[in-house]
A = this chain, B = another copy of it.
Amino acid sequence: MQLQAAIDRLSLDDAAALAKQLDGVVDIVEMGTSLVKDYGYHGMITMRAAVQRSRLLVDLKTIDEGAYEFTQGFQAGADILTVMGASSHATIAAVAAVTQAAQRTMMIDLMETTADKQAAISDFPEAIYCLHHSTDRQDKMAPTATVAAFHQQFPSLKHLAIAGGVDQAGAAALATQGLTDIVIVGSAITKANDPAAAAHDLMEVVHK
């Protein structure tokens, strides 16, 4: 399993400084959607410059105009880009084509998708499917149960990620379960007193 650290809602200077602290410590550094919408393409370039050893995911949350957004995101240097599962199938197919041509990676964010919608977009076996619990929701997700249910429904999808309120205990349970490629952690790292130390601790749990 790999650890992705999501950076959000900071000034670009602070986000880049935090990214440098986490670079080479975590497997994947995420430039969160808030940073994309606040700082745009220039922000992506800045974050790419800060992240040299880890992979960089830019959380574009594309939901339309797939080819344009993914072309921009990969041109800015992202290794992984996100598309919403709630998009039309045509949008997901468009970003899949751009991703394949760029020889990089796409993540399909399943936030708020129904089982029917998930089935309708389950034909991208190279993609990472991300089980994602909206941060605006007050309820909580049970990580291992969520992953197990999705795996049972879609056994042919081999690349799974999970995001949304996963803490150290949740990450440990996911590592033991062995079905998840990437666990995405935000504030448990970025709001820690020592983010690099928190990331180190989580890396031990994730890679044990």
- A-side residues, CB < 8 A to B, are 8-9, 33-34, 36-43, 60-61, 63-69, 72, 84, 86-88, 90-91, 94, 111-112, 114, 117, 134-138
Contact = CB atoms under 8 A, between A and B. Distances in A.
A87 to B, nearest CB: 6
B134 A91 contact: yes
Given A63-B61, A90-B138, A94-B136, A68 B36 contact: no
Contacts of A61: 61, 63-64
A117 B9 CA distance: 29
- Oligomer: number of copies: 2
Contact of A111 (B33, B64, B114, B135): B64
A112 B86 contact: yes
Nearest to A85: B86
